[in-house]
A and B are shown apart, each in its own frame.
Chain A
Amino acid sequence: QQQVKQSPQSLIVQKGGISIINCAYENTAFDYFPWYQQFPGKGPALLIAIRPDVSEKKEGRFTISFNKSAKQFSLHIMDSQPGDSATYFCAATPKRFGAGTRLTVKP
């Protein structure tokens, strides 16, 4: 009931490509779904977040798609850049993190 499942574990994308990371949750009581970006040696930093009353939220090159009935949400990074190379964590409520996806964007 408390798990957040994230995939893939790692992702390699060419510069300019689209990076897609998926998450699924179990507890329908969760009402806040943030994505965090973490660079090596740093703490997680909030990237973008969504509440279940909307199906999509876009901020710059980053978009969250949310499917409430399937209990799934995903992060899309458009025009991926080498500077986007980091580990990305989804979460349900602020406290329950997915396992993380290590994104590498090749120049």
Chain B
Amino acid sequence: EPEVTQTPSHQVTQMGQEVILRCVPISNHLYFYWYRQILGQKVEFLVSFYNNEISEKSEIFDDQFSVERPDGSNFTLKIRSTKLEDSAMYFCASKFLTGEETQYFGPGTRLLVL
């Protein structure tokens, strides 16, 4: 069964460093998402991406964040200058079509900022 994959599974970084989280969505999916989940808290929407551009973003997704689909398979989230409060689990998700609302989540990347 096709699945969303994410790398790395864990990342430790120093405050102020840049990190890039990578996702490979399901191959025929057209809509891509990033979410974060601070330990023990709810899942929070960050950004959605369709047709090579951001379609929606939350107030969390400030200028420190950017997303990119550099090729036909990868979808990345970049945090330019990490802060302690960026420590969280980051989930990528994808879905096939508009009108089909089922999103498929990856296993997540646990980011720890020291």
Contacts and interface: CB of A to CB of B under 8 A. Distances in A.
Contacts of A49: 101-102
A42 B4 CA distance: 12
Contacts of B43: 36, 44, 89, 97, 100
A104 B5 CA distance: 28
A43 interface: yes
A100 B42 contact: yes
A43 B42 contact: no
A41 to B, nearest CB: 8
Contact of B103 (A42, A46, A100): A46
A44 B90 CA distance: 11
A95 interface: yes
Interface stretch (B11-19, B63-71, B77-85, B105-113): B105-113
Interface in B88-104: 91, 93, 95, 101-104
Interface footprint category on A: 10 to 19
B76 interface: no
Interface string A45-66: 1100100000000000000000
Interface string A84-99: 0000010001111111
Given A43-B91, A43-B108, A44-B91, A99 B42 contact: yes
Binding site secondary structure of chain A: loop
Nearest to B95: A94
Nearest to B105: A43
A32 B42 CA distance: 18
Contacts of A93: 101
Nearest to A4: B42
B111 to A, nearest CB: 14
A36 B35 CA distance: 14
Nearest to A98: B42
Interface string B45-57: 1001000000010
Interface of A: 32, 34, 36, 41-46, 49, 89, 93-100
7 contacts: A36-B43, A41-B107, A42-B107, A43-B107, A44-B105, A95-B48, A98-B42
